[in-house]
Amino acid sequence: MKKNPWFYIPTLYLAEGFPYIVINTVSTVLYADLGFSNEKIAFWTGWLYLPWILKMFWSPLVDARSTKRRWLLGAQTVLAGIFLLLAGLTAWEAFRFAGNTGSLTFFSLSLFGFLAGAFASATLDIATDGYYLLALTPVEQSKFVGIRTIFYRLAMILGSGILVAATGALASSDPSMSGTLVKWPYNWALMFAALAVFFGLCVLWHRFSLPCPQEDRPVQTGNKNAWGESFRTYFSQKNILYILAFILLYRLGDAFLEKIVPLFLLKPQAEGALGLSVQTYGLIKGTLGLGAVIVGNLAGGWLLSKYGFKKCIWPFAVILILPNFFYAYMSWVHPSTAVAAVLITLEHLGNGLALMAFTVFIMYISQGAYKTSHYAISTGIMALGMMVPSMASGWLQAKLGYTAFFVVASIISLITVAVVPLSFKIKSIEETEASFRAHKHSLEDAQ
């Protein structure tokens, strides 16, 4: 009996989104709270993108060995164990080194833990996205692309918002704050323990709820090499250079912001930042930001389904680069918390819209027998486009200061608009979209 995708798609994409945001963004908040420098944080946490780049090299293994269902359950189990180990590490006496930026003990060990989690998370991405393409019909894929994106983004906002706010409410690094429930920084250990419990529950739920579709089986390659075939079929696509350029550059401005924005919001005003508390930062992200990203995803999905990719991509690209200008403004005038909250909310609303188009783009070019590997290769290339700018962002901000950095990032972000015309030359986008629409209409006629 076929199970309703509502039964498992939301929880699958919640589980996929949480480790990505914790490893790549919450780690930045943690290290900022512990007093490490911006340059050190941005450079070393930038390396955490590496597994998402390299995942294209083991995605054929996921295609050719076992089922996507088993792979994603295994990855969720590993993540539960890694977060439990990180909880133990943060509770260990290495934490006494955390406030001393000259000591690498806690920083090195925790970074290694995040890196291990990144490899597990990247594998979870491969298996979950592959399972989605195999377990759902083309009509269901079109229907749930917005839903899966909403819950993935929901996990990211909850992870960087509510989770961080709750961690900040438990304890503060500011000695003037009173009434904390636990001793700082053991509140971070409790956060990792909560994540371990969450993934343990996800494993139990998905063992029960996930169907076992007939299509979810190892790819039959015959005498062909699965790894070689997946790369050959991907890079022999028509207009591959346009595809690569779009994937690498569409989120360039976003990449420069990812590591620096949390630092700008959290670091002291004496350093030119806004000086928000961890709790305030988390509440803005997890309340106003949460609502905005859900509205943005719903609106983006509706607009894409109604008007198509080509008509939506221009306005979506413009919306995507606006936050760079928001932060240039905030670094210049240092607005009130209320004004900052409004601009951060608009940022999430715009991202909810604009990144829907990127998700659809990758889904449309990931078709055929190796669709799981193709999706992984595309997201791996995207991670490369995020990793290099994010690693350089800390050094650039340290040299220029916040205001000049955000101005430069705003100018660089205009490249996003420049690559939009390339997407119009990619025939597979138009062909796949037409196929999805025709399939949908034929079913509606039959009904």
From the centroid of its chain, how far is CA 294? 15
Q: Spell out the alpha helix ranges (H) of 273-336.
A: 278-286, 288-307, 309-333
Domain 8-210+227-446 carries which CATH code? 1.20.1250.20
Whole-structure pTM value: 0.79
Structure-token match 């597994």, residue found: 51
Residue of 24, 76, 17, 83 whose CA lies nearest to 49: 24
Q: What is the dihedral of CA 40, 45, 47, 52, to 10 degrees?
A: -170
Compute the distance between CA of residue 295 and CA of residue 434 in angstroms, rounded to an integer: 26
From the centroid of its chain, how far is CA 127? 16
| Domain spans in the chain, listed from the N-terminal domain onward | 8-210+227-446
Q: What is the dihedral of CA 282, 284, 286, 288, to 10 degrees?
A: 180
Please state the φ and ψ torsions of residue 223, each to the nearest 5 degrees.
-90, 0
Per-residue pLDDT of the chain (447 residues; tens, 9 = 90+): 577 889 899 999 999 999 999 998 899 988 888 888 888 999 999 999 899 888 878 777 787 788 889 999 999 999 999 999 999 888 775 456 444 544 557 888 899 999 999 999 999 998 998 888 888 877 777 778 778 877 887 898 888 888 988 888 887 766 555 556 777 778 899 999 999 999 999 999 999 999 888 877 876 655 566 677 888 888 888 889 999 999 999 999 999 998 999 999 999 899 899 999 888 988 887 778 778 888 887 888 788 888 888 888 999 999 999 999 999 999 999 999 999 999 999 998 988 888 888 888 888 888 777 777 788 788 889 989 999 999 999 999 999 999 999 999 999 999 999 999 998 888 777 777 776 666 554 333 322
Compute the distance between CA of residue 357 and CA of residue 145 in angstroms, rounded to an integer: 10
The residue type of 399 is: K
Structure-token match 């996929």, residue found: 16
**DSSP state for residue 218 in the 8-state scheme:** -
Sign of the alpha-carbon dihedral angle for 76, 78, 81, 87 = negative
Q: Spell out the alpha helix ranges (H) of 50-96.
A: 50-64, 68-91
